[in-house]
Amino acid sequence: MTGHALRVSHFSHRYFSRSPPVMNLVIQSLDPIAESHLKPLTALARSQHTDRADAGRVLQLRGADPLQRPDIDAYCGTHRLDYAFIDPAWRLSDFGLVAMDMDSTLITIECIDEIADFCGLKAEVAAITEASMRGEIKDFNESLTRRVALLKGLDASALERVYEERLRLSPGAEIMLAGAKAAGLKTLLVSGGFTFFTEKLKARLGLDFTRANTLEIVDGKLTGRVTGEIVNADVKARTLRETCAQLGIDPQRSIAMGDGSNDLKMMAEAGLSVAFRAKPVVREAAGLALNFVGLDGLLRLF
């Protein structure tokens, strides 16, 4: 990952043009972190103080040196550990908004791929989706238009079947949302996917704001088109800014979570950007990555 997380914090007001700040290094795992990791991680982080939490699944190394990021990254990747350098002054309640992508972030599937499965075109559509999320297809509008066109003539009941039979929340999603709400944060689900799913999730999870694309349906059939402005990377970023303005907060007081290249501009607007089980281009640009633990890993950072 880059040094995105090391920019001047809106909250801490630390300026470190000559030397980096001392930060906390938070290590997380799905399972209790083995004692054998403690000594090498402490040495790599150049930390003198360690704390364990959450039944040993979280290790906090206080006074860590963020310049050791490359070595920490290599070690944690090898041992399937998630890590993040976090300003010790930060509290979750310092933020006012958590903005999330939907497909492969808040939920485990790509809805358009699953819809396409009902007309026998999942492999073709999924290949376009994957290339777009990796950043290999630069024009998201063109990518979405191509994929939606392949759905022309499909009975709209397929949308309900995808929601009922295939859509699953990502691990830790409900815990993360509950923790964010308890800390006073509002929630925004902004997706290059479809309103059929974002509106159902809004009602189900009590989300505050949503934005997505609308599939055109005529006589109970998909027309192969979307109506209105396509929610691409620029619209996602603008939606985050507009939501923050509506809440009366600076975008630096937002957290943005995503997995694909069309999330990058939104994530760049936020004070904290989180790549969740993301494509390499997103992990590289984000402030931190959660590659192994669930979305509730966000809460343990603070």
**Burial letters 187-202, b for 16+ CB under 10 A, else e:** bbbbbbbbbbbbebbb
Give the chain's largest Cα–Cα span: 67
**Chain-centre distance of CA 249, in angstroms?**
20
**Burial letters 115-124, b for 16+ CB under 10 A, else e:** bbbbbebbee
Whether 28 contacts 58, CB under 8 Å: yes
Candidate list 101, 259, 263, 296, residue with the active-site label: 101
Instruction: Enter the tokens of residue 139.
Output: 């024009």
Residue matched to tokens 């005529």: 218
How far apart are the C-alpha atoms of 252 and 129, rounded to whole Å?
30
139 is a catalytic site residue: no
51 is a catalytic site residue: no
How far apart are the C-alpha atoms of 111 and 127, rounded to whole Å?
14
Q: Give the start-end residues of each E strand in 14-160.
A: 23-28, 49-53, 58-64, 82-86, 97-100
Candidate list 103, 259, 263, 296, residue with the active-site label: 103
Whether 46 contacts 129, CB under 8 Å: no
Secondary structure class of 124 (helix, strand, coil): helix
Residues contacting 225, CB < 8 A, separation 6+: 148, 149, 215, 216
Residues involved in catalysis: 101, 103
